[in-house]
Amino acid sequence: MICELVSKSLLRSGLFDYMVDCKEIAESAKPGQFIHVLCGADTFLRRPISICDTVQNRFVRFIFEVRGKGTHNLANAKAGETLDILGPLGNGFNVSFKNDIPDGDIVLLGGGIGVFPLLKLAKSLPKKPVVMLGFRDEATAVMTDEFASVSDSVFVASDDGSVGCKGFVTDILKSRIAAGNKIDRVYTCGPKPMMRIAAELCEENGIGCFISMEERMGCGVGACVTCTCTMKDGSRRRVCKEGPVFNGAEVDFDG
C-alpha cells in the first residue's frame, strides 16, 4: 500500500509516533499484527513495526525507535509524504475466551518498545485489562496515561525506580499472583528475558500466556525463513507468519 503520513510526532528523543492513512490495513488489522515498511531506497529490506492502534477504520498508528539505518531513514519522512507499507502481517493476539467475559484479570505486560502493540490489544479485549509496564527509567517511560485510559489499572516498574516501583515489571505479576489475584490470561511483548519469566510464571500457575516474539526479519511474509524461533517440540516457526504471537508455553527460550 502507498499510504500518506498524516501526522508525525516525537514522543521522546529518538521515538516517533506516526499515523498513516491506510483504510485497507486499518479495516482488517488485528491486535498484535505488524506492518512491513520500506525505509528508503538504500535499505533493500523492509522493517517490521507493530500496529499500535487503528483509528476510524482508516488510519494506522505505529511508534518506532530509531535503531539503525532503516528507522533513521523512516524518521526523516515528512507529514504529507507517502510510505510504502505491506500489511497487516502475521498472526496477532487471540482475544477470545471460553467464557465470553473471563472472571479473572486479563494482564498486559509490556517492556520498553514492546508496549506499543498492547494499546490496540487493550481496546480489543472483552473487559478492561490490568496493565503492567516496564521501562529503563522515567525518561524512557511512555504512554502510561494512554494505557490508563483503556485499562482497569496500570502498574509501572523501572530499573532505577525513577518511575513506578523499582525492579522488573515481572515482579509486579509475581506479587499479584502471590497475593491471590485471579488471572485468566497474560499477554506480553518486550525483551525476551521478561517474556520468558512471564511465560514460566504463567505455566507454574496454570495461566494462559501469549507472547509476541521479535526476530530479525527478511521478507515478512514467510518465504525467506530468516526469522524462525524454536518451539519446545523442536520445530521451528516463522515469527512473520506463524507469529509474531505464540503460545508462551510452547516457545523454547533457549532454542
Q: For residue 165, list its beta bridge partners.
A: 157
Could you give the CA distance from residue 33 to residue 31 in angstroms, rounded to a whole number?
A: 6
Question: Interface mask (CB under 6 A) for ligand FAD, residues 226-245, using x and -?
Answer: ------------------x-
Grid coordinates representing 172? Answer: 509486579
- The answer to whether 112 and 189 are in contact (CB under 8 A) is no
Strands 130-135 and 153-158: parallel
Give the nearest distance from C-beta 200 to ligand FAD in angstroms.
22
Could you give the CA distance from residue 168 to residue 12 in angstroms, rounded to a whole number?
A: 22
Which residues from 94-133 bind ligand FAD, rule CB under 6 A? 113, 116
Give the nearest distance from C-beta 127 to ligand FAD in angstroms.
25
Cβ distance to ligand FAD smaller for residue 76 or 82: 76
Cβ distance to ligand FAD smaller for residue 108 or 183: 108
Give the nearest distance from C-beta 112 to ligand FAD in angstroms.
9
Q: CB under 8 Å to 93, separation ≥6 — which residues?
A: 30, 31, 32, 117, 121, 124, 187, 210, 212, 245
Give the nearest distance from C-beta 234 to ligand FAD in angstroms.
22
Considering the rule CB under 6 A, would residue 34 count as an interface residue with ligand FAD? yes
Considering the rule CB under 6 A, would residue 214 count as an interface residue with ligand FAD? yes
Cβ distance to ligand FAD smaller for residue 63 or 142: 63
- The distance from CA 172 to its chain's CA centroid, rounded to whole angstroms, is 19
Grid coordinates representing 169? Answer: 515489571
Give the nearest distance from C-beta 80 to ligand FAD in angstroms.
22
Give the nearest distance from C-beta 71 to ligand FAD in angstroms.
3
- 27 CB neighbour count, 10 Å cutoff: 12
Considering the rule CB under 6 A, would residue 217 count as an interface residue with ligand FAD? yes
Which residues from 36-55 bind ligand FAD, rule CB under 6 A? 47-50
Q: For 120, left (φ over 0), alpha (ψ -120 to 50), or beta?
A: alpha
Could you give the CA distance from residue 230 to residue 21 in angstroms, rounded to a whole number?
A: 36
Which residues from 187-206 bind ligand FAD, rule CB under 6 A? none
Which residues from 53-72 bind ligand FAD, rule CB under 6 A? 62-65, 67-71
Cell 521522546 belongs to: 12
Instruction: Give the total of residues touching ligand FAD (CB under 6 A).
Output: 21
Residues that bind ligand FAD (CB under 6 A): 34, 47-50, 62-65, 67-71, 113, 116, 214-217, 244
